Amino acid sequence: MKRILTITVALLISMTILGCDAISPQVTTTTEETTAATSDFNEIHDVDDLSAMEMNRSYVLMDDLDLSDMEWEPLGGFEEPFIGHFDGNGHTISNLTITTKNTDFNGLFAVMNGKVFDLTLEDASIDYSTSFLTYAGALAGKIEGGNVENVDVSSDIDVSNASSNTFAGLLAGIVQAHVTDTMTPDEFVPNHVTDTALSGTIDVTSANYVFVGGLAGKTYNTELTGNTVDVSIAALANEHRIYAGGLSGHNYSGLLVGFEDFVDETSILISENTVIAYFDIRAQGTQAAVGGFIGYNDYGNLIDNHVDADMTVSGNNFNIGSLVGEDFHGMFERTLSTLTLTVSNQPDSISVGDICGFVTEDTDVSSAYYNLEYDDEIALSNGEPISNSELQTETFYRDTFGWDDVFDLTRLTGLYSE
């Protein structure tokens, strides 16, 4: 008789590992599952059709839509998330504007549990102040169990939070897998975000915790593959921590760890992503974990990823890495991270690593190359240095990583030839 172990046990383990992550929303769902029709697509021709969407039906966009001159009210909500499929059909929704906090979940969708694909969100603007826990992203405030494929976003996000925590990313505030309290390990399937192209700015001022990333403020047991990010991030935390990364501010991928006897694979991959990121991080609170790629990583497996970052930091305590600020139990393979780091004042404590600013004993690093410009001492070294001249040759990427079919090598060499 097959032994049944519920995911709830794994969640309890993960919460213990994460510690401060208890401030995140619960990922266990106890409500009755609701299904949506995903074979019949209703056509959307205008803004009225878009606003009138029902959250348990599927839709196809038939024309480009311009949301200028209106305040957008996010679709759905925490109690009624979008669970259907949304086919962008190659069309564009432009000038989405949000200037009020709504239900604390802000984006085209408030909460999205379905699937969105082949869509462009152009010139989205989210700019509001709040005193409550809040989530902001052009596509959704929160994605839980939803899959995103081939979505392009250009967006500017500006959130000021007077007394609580803020999650912000160009795509979503938080992206997490859907889990129920009766699910067994072999039934769990991670959600995924793949082939997105994201560009824009994020500026967050928050009294408490800040989770900010080019794709999402926090990613939780989610596969991230083939995404391209070009982002400028400014973040200020007045009292507590900042987690900031060019792809994700805070990532956890260890839900299946400990259940090796019941599943074929426990790792949840983050692969073939490329990031260009600019950071201005002001940590007036307790600490900041800042990485060119991910701020805080727990059990994430990073394979075939590239980041080029420029970072200015000021404030109190920092853990900074060209790839990851703080790592717990992670694995890095075939990664390239370049970072120019400027410290505008002398923090109380700063740990700068060539790859990671902080690691645990079981962090596994192989074929991780870096180019770091920093005027002071490097506290941790576990990568392989690479010269500017090598970065400008396609041979380096072919021979070292085998990236011919992973990234555009002409674009990579051009990035370092400017």
Work out the average pLDDT over 134-161.
97
Residues 140 and 111: beta-carbon distance below 8 Å: yes
The pTM assigned to this predicted structure is: 0.92
DSSP letter, residue 187: G
Q: Which pLDDT band, with edges at 50, 70 and 90, does 181 fall under?
A: confident
What's the pLDDT score for residue 114?
A: 96
Say if CB 209 and CB 238 are below 8 A apart: no
Give the integer Cα–Cα distance in Å for 214 and 186.
Answer: 31
Would you say residue 102 has pLDDT above 90? no
Across residues 383-398, what is the average pLDDT? 95
Positive or negative: CA dihedral 190, 191, 196, 202: negative
pLDDT for the residue numbered 34: 59
**Alpha carbon distances (Å) from 272 to 111, 166, 308, 413:** 27, 28, 14, 17
Segment 71-86, tens digit of pLDDT: 999 999 999 999 999 9
The stretch 219-230 carries a mean pLDDT of 98
Q: Is the pLDDT of residue 20 over 70?
A: no
Q: What DSSP element (H or E) covers 176?
A: strand 172-176
Supply the pLDDT for residue 317: 87
DSSP characters over 84-101: SEEEEEEEEEE--EE-S-
Give the pLDDT score at 38. Answer: 75
pLDDT at 113 exceeding the cut of 70: yes
pLDDT, one tens digit per residue, over 58-72 is: 999 999 999 998 999
Q: Rounded to an integer, what distance in angstroms lies between the CA atom of residue 397 and that of residue 271? A: 16
The average pLDDT across 282-304 equals: 93
Can you say how many angstroms the Cα of residue 265 is from the centroid of all Cα atoms in its chain?
22
Residue ranges of domains in the chain, CATH in brackets: 7-316 (2.160.20)
Q: Are 72 and 45 in contact (CB under 8 A)?
A: no
pLDDT tens string 9-18: 444 334 433 3
Instruction: Please list the residues that pair with 151 across neighbouring strands.
Output: 119
**Which comes out higher in pLDDT, residue 33 or 139?**
139
